[in-house]
Amino acid sequence: MGGVTNETTGATSEGFPFTKGHGTENDFVLLADPDGAWTLDAEFVTAICDRRAGIGGDGLIRAVRTAAEPDAAAMAGQAEWFMDYRNADGSIAEMCGNGVRVFAEFLLRSGLLPAEAGDGDWFPVATRAGVKRLRREGEGNWTADMGRWRLTGGERALADGSDALVQVAGLDGVARPALSVDLGNPHTVVALPDAAELDAADLSRGPQVEPVPPAGTNVELVVPLDAVDVTGDDVADIGDIAMRVHERGSGETRSCGTGACAAALATRAWAGAGAPGVWRVRVPGGRLVVTVGAGSTLTEGTVWLSGPAQLVATGTFSLPA
């Protein structure tokens, strides 16, 4: 990790200031590096994300001004802040749907955004998957405009209902058909018949995907649920699914924002014409809401993700000797 004492980052010889946050228990370590003084390496990321020897997290997010980050400088005219996201194993990721909401809350609570930012108006955040817009929906809740999505296999995959095969440990050993969804990062969605199979799946090991995507993939397991709201009234225009996910570079996580979008979009594609445009996605860490953008088809369009973002701790992390 290349980090030196300076007034901008607040780093000292004793360590690095951090914030811990989560979105539906998909948790992150967040660092403020406004002027891009630090160069992250995989060793540092894995050390800080280690759940026994470090702070612990599914990933690390660095907040840096877009103009100060070479990977994002081309977006400097569109967004002030860049979300530099790393998986827990130190690998670089394009985007994180839960992470971008937590990132927005971090910017706001750290004074890096005006106090009124996001209240009723969208503000932009640069990511490796392009510029995303966010809007605050009351205390600790955000909606992210996730931008464009597409079924990787297009109309052919839609007609076939799948474009990949996935074998999941803990089930019957049979490779199951799956649908690939591109949200700026790759996803492969598998439909299971019931909650019992969802519970039985062993995601401590990465599912085997064929064909293997060039940049790897997140794998979502989904089960459709009865559309019943908390009062017990049927909700005909809202889809309801349960999901578990294995994220590349992190293993099974309690939630995945882009994965929730992918799961809803794949389920909508399988349901066909007339499928709901709003989906509640129940994950082990809570519930997210996915809204398909107006004018979207079953193979491509835009999508929004809504859910909580909580900051739970601040402190200083010292590198191991």
State pLDDT tens for residues 51-87. 999 999 999 999 999 999 998 999 999 999 999 999 9
- Give how far the C-alpha of residue 13 lies from the chain's centroid of Cα atoms, to the nearest Å: 33
Q: What is the pLDDT of residue 319?
A: 66
Instruction: State the DSSP code for 168.
Output: -
3-class DSSP state for residue 268? Answer: helix
| Among 116, 40, 126, 37, residue whose Cα is nearest residue 81 | 126
Query: Residues 148-179: pLDDT tens digits?
Result: 999 999 999 999 999 999 999 999 889 999 99
Q: What values do phi and psi take at 227, rounded to 5?
A: -80, 90
Q: Which domains does the chain have, with CATH numbers?
A: 16-147 (3.10.310.10), 149-308 (3.10.310.10)
129, 168, 256, 283: the active-site residue:
256
Is 256 part of the annotated catalytic residue set? Answer: yes
Q: What is the pLDDT of residue 321?
A: 58
Give 18's contacts (C-beta < 8 A, 6+ positions apart). Answer: 29, 30, 31, 48, 55, 314, 315, 316, 317
**What mean pLDDT is predicted for residues 210-235?**
77
pTM exceeds cut of 0.85: yes
| Among 100, 28, 30, 107, residue whose Cα is nearest residue 307 | 100
Q: Tell which wins on pLDDT, 229 or 27.
A: 27
Q: What is the pLDDT of residue 229?
A: 45
Return the amino acid letter for 238: I
Q: What is the pLDDT of residue 118?
A: 77
32, 45, 96, 129: the active-site residue:
96
User: What's the N-to-C CA distance of the chain in angstroms?
Assistant: 13
Q: What is the pLDDT of residue 5?
A: 33
Q: Which helix (H) or strand (E) holds 84?
A: strand 81-87
